[in-house]
Amino acid sequence: MPSFKYSAVGSDGRTVRGTLEAPSQNDCLDELRRRSLTPLRVEEKSGKKKKAASAAAAPAAAATPSSAKPAEKKSWLQMDLTIGGMKPGVRKKEEIVIFTRQLATMINAGIPILESLEILAEQAQSRQFAMLLDAVVGDVRAGQDLSTAFAKYPKVFSDVYVSMLRAGEASGQIDDILIRLAEYLEATQKLKRDIKSAMTYPVVSLVMIIGITAFLMIGIVPKFKEVFESLAIELPGITKMILGASDWSVENWPVVFIGGAVFVGLVMVYKRTDRGSWQWDWMMLHLPVFGTLFQKVGLSRFSKTFSTMIKSGVPILGALEIVADTSGNRIISHAVLEARENVRQGESLAEPLAQSPVFPPMVTRMIGIGEKTGSLETLLEKISEFYDDQVSATVKQLTSLIEPIMIGFMGLLVGAIVLAVFLPIFELQKNLTPGR
Domain membership of residue 144 (yes or no) is no
Would you state the pLDDT for residue 422?
80
Domain membership of residue 381 (yes or no) is yes
Check if the beta carbon of residue 86 is closer than 8 Å to that of residue 128: yes
CATH number of the domain where residue 241 is located: 1.20.81.30
Provide block-wise average pLDDT over 10 residues at a time, the chain (436 residues). Answer: 78 71 80 74 61 34 35 38 42 78 85 87 84 89 87 86 83 80 83 77 82 83 77 77 84 81 88 86 84 85 85 84 82 88 86 87 90 87 88 80 81 84 75 58
- The whole-model pTM stands at 0.60
Contacts 24+ apart (CB under 8 A), 45-52: 45/2, 45/3, 45/4, 45/5, 45/19
Domain membership of residue 2 (yes or no) is yes
Domain membership of residue 63 (yes or no) is no
Query: CB atoms < 10 A from the CB of 37, how many?
Result: 21
Check if the beta carbon of residue 103 is closer than 8 Å to that of residue 174: no
CATH number of the domain where residue 41 is located: 3.10.20
Would you state the pLDDT for residue 431?
65
d(CA 430, CA 123): 77
Would you state the pLDDT for residue 346?
83
Domain membership of residue 167 (yes or no) is no
Domain of residue 22 covers 1-46
Domain membership of residue 92 (yes or no) is no
**Taking the mean position of all CA atoms in its chain, how far away is CA 100?**
16
Domain membership of residue 39 (yes or no) is yes
d(CA 62, CA 184): 51
d(CA 108, CA 37): 13
Would you state the pLDDT for residue 54?
35
Would you state the pLDDT for residue 10?
67
Domain membership of residue 95 (yes or no) is no
Check if the beta carbon of residue 312 is closer than 8 Å to that of residue 167: yes
Q: How many domains does the chain have?
A: 2
